Amino acid sequence: MKILIVSLVTFLLSSCYQTKKPPKIYESNYKDGELTQVQFYPYSITFDTLKAGQSFEGSFYIKNVGKNILYIDSISKACSCTKLDISKGVVNISDSLNVTFSIRPTVTKEYFVTPLVFYLNTKPFYRQILIEGYIE
């Protein structure tokens, strides 16, 4: 019984300390071991009042201001009510990328904030855009 408990505790502790390797995109796609730099404009998008069930659209820009190609590895969104239209996952040096989105909120009478998190070859390796507004 003691051996079973010790084995179980060892397994649980070892699984907590495992680190996930970063995607290869962060290891090999930059010159001289440098990451690139990025600017988002705007950093947050605020809608005054949204009607539940209606779709609203907006856009923002991602600009590569670094010395290496910018790679957009993945994007996560907190709400399934948000749809993104992004044409490519690579932004050349000094270029910009226009990202459009639509949001269709379903909850009523509350203020919402939903983040879009972009995983990139930058430091830190992610950037966040906030979409917010009041739903009536």
What is the spatial distance between Cα 12 and Cα 6, in angstroms, rounded to a whole number?
Answer: 10
Are 10 and 105 within 8 A, CB to CB?
no
Segments in 1-136 forming alpha helices (H): 2-16, 25-28
CATH number of the domain residue 84 falls in: 2.60.40.10
Domain total in the chain: 1
**Half-sphere exposure of residue 34: CA atoms within 13 angstroms, side-chain side:** 8
pLDDT digits (tens, 9 = 90+) for 64-120: 999 889 989 889 988 888 999 887 889 999 999 999 999 988 877 888 888 999 988
Considering 24-38, 55-69, 102-116, 122-136, the range whose residues carry the highest mean pLDDT is 55-69
Show the domain range for 38. Answer: 2-135
Average pLDDT, rounded, for the chain? 78
